[in-house]
Structure 1
Amino acid sequence: MSTLVTLVHLRWAVPVLAQLHRGFGGRFVNLTHTLGVSRESLSRTLAFLIEAGLIRRNPGHGHPLRPEYLLTETGARLAEPAAALTDLLQELDAGDVGLKKWSLPILALLVDGERRFSELRNALPGTSNRALTLALKDLESSGLIVRTVTTGYPPTTSYGATPPGLRLARAAERLQLRTPE
């Protein structure tokens, strides 16, 4: 799980990998325009991806048609699942929710079935109660998870993935399984 959390820590990491896989915008300016990302956010994301060993600067850059950024071997293995994930997010109209920091890790945890809040919190070290609550509300409002409250005493609340949420979770798992530790 930690590899998926690390990869989606920055909102634009997965879309940048997807764009580089598609062959669009290996140049900084093309990435800002096609993704609609600010220069500062893109700079941070590119620095993160370089540090993670997923992309590298092109040493032969200089010609206007040569890309500034290239996928590394590891990045190339992740780029195809990243492109599939971004396509699925667009198809489900869930890009805003799906690219938030904790959304995909939460969905990945719900693949095996329903979980309670405390189970999710324990499985996601580094998340605060507030961040987890906000992510769960966003996922529920977008129809990716369902919240169930039992009528017993004391009442319990559990969260489970809907069919579109499961599709996203499986796409996210492809990223997680291919990411080196």
Structure 2
Amino acid sequence: MDIKLLVKLTSRAWALDILAHLHRGVPGRQATLLAATGAGRTAFGASLQHLMALGLVARNPGHGHPLRPEFILTAEGKAAAAKADAILRAAEVSAAGLLRKSWTVPVLALAARPQRFSGFKAGLGAITDRALSTSLQRLEAQDWVAREIDLSERVPFPVYRAVNAGGEISRVAEAAV
């Protein structure tokens, strides 16, 4: 899975949770997955449609009622689901909500090695300055990213790297990229 797919995958709040639950063997019915994730109906439906559009989840042919279909992982979805499950298992239960934010996992994937702000921008491409700085602030507040000032250059600049649970998530997410 490349960084672009990781960015697309995490752009919906419940996508990682849905993939992880399907990987763990939760039945692919919408009601069962909805109960397992604890998501709201609208956000869950949008995430499920997003996963179908990415080709990671498909309707199980021949199973389920047209209004209550059953969903299965595609071949590409099985690999992505294993990585999603590993990412969620690496996170602390109390902070799993932070992983539902759009840019958290892609930023952590790049923070495995110390990065400057411009390094994140180059690696993530479509991210805005505001979204990146907000994401870095949230991760720093959660103590998943450490901000250090590099004084080796003429003009000092901050360098960010993943630490604690963020470091574990970063290693798993980096392996996914």
Shorter-chain TM-score tier: 0.7 to 0.9
**Equivalent of 1:11 in 6, 10, 13:** 13
Question: Shift of residue 61 of structure 1?
Answer: 2.5
DSSP-derived class of the 1:169 partner: helix
Deviation digits for residues 77-134 of structure 1, max 9, x if unmatched? 222222122122245x33122231111111111212x221122122211111111111
Between the aligned partners of 1:62 and 1:162, the Cα distance in structure 2 is 44
Look up the equivalent residue of 1:102 and give its one-letter code: W
- Who is 1:115 aligned against? 115
How far is 1:168 from its partner? 0.4
Structure 2: gaps of 5 or more residues: none
Question: Which residue matches 1:99?
Answer: 100
Match of 1:59 among 58, 61, 66: 61
Corresponding position: 1:124 with 2:124: yes
Q: TM-score, normalised by structure 2?
A: 0.86
Distance 1:111 1:150 in 2: 17
Letter in 2 for 1:5: V
Q: CA RMSD in A?
A: 2.1
CA distance in 1, matches of 2:64, 2:5: 34
- SS at the partner of 1:136? helix
Q: Provide the C-alpha distance between the structure 1 equivalents of 2:69 and 2:78, rounded to a whole number of angstroms.
A: 15
User: Paired residue for 1:72?
Assistant: 74
Q: Give, as a single letter, the amino acid of the residue that structure 2 aligns with 1:8.
A: T
For residues 173 and 153 of structure 1, the distance between their equivalents in structure 2, rounded to whole angstroms, comes to 31
Equivalenced residues, count: 172
- Counterpart in 2 of 1:179? none
Please give the alpha-carbon distance, in whole angstroms, between the structure 1 residues aligned to 2:116 and 2:54.
32
Secondary structure at the aligned position of 1:115 is classed as coil
Q: Which residue of 2 aligns with 1:167?
A: 168
TM-score between the two structures when normalised by the length of structure 1: 0.85
Inter-partner Cα distance in structure 2 for 1:62 and 1:6: 28
Structure 1 unmatched runs, 5+: 177-181
